[in-house]
Amino acid sequence: MEILVMGGTRFVGKPLVERLLAQGHSLTLFTRGRNPLPAGVEHLAGDRSTPEGLQPLAGRRFDVIVDSSGRTVEDSRAVVERT
């Protein structure tokens, strides 16, 4: 599956990304680019705090979106609306 992970370099995201990669999924991580990325993922750099910061997601399509870093429903809605 094509999976977008919002974050994915710390906390719950890091072990989740490891597991999804081991299962053979194609992963795209959307991060601010502050932490090292695991090998084998596509990286989209941006900041979810502004509409412009989410621009790298525009027009992209994913089978699954994992957003464990969203703090509000609006945070996650903004991601879904751009993909």
Q: What is the CATH number of the domain that holds 51?
A: 3.40.50.720
Counted domains in the chain: 1
Predicted pLDDT of residue 13:
87
Contact (Cβ atoms closer than 8 angstroms) between residue 2 and residue 24: no
What residue type is 15 in one-letter code? P
CA distances from 46 to 24, 41, 73 (A): 25, 16, 19
- Does the pTM exceed 0.85? yes
The whole-number mean pLDDT for each consecutive block of 10 residues of the chain, a chain of 83 residues, reads 93 93 97 94 95 95 92 90 88
Domain holding 23, by residue range, is 2-82
Query: Which pairs with CB-CB distance under 8 Å and at least 24 residues apart come from 34-39?
Result: 35/9, 35/10, 36/9, 37/9, 38/8, 38/9, 38/14
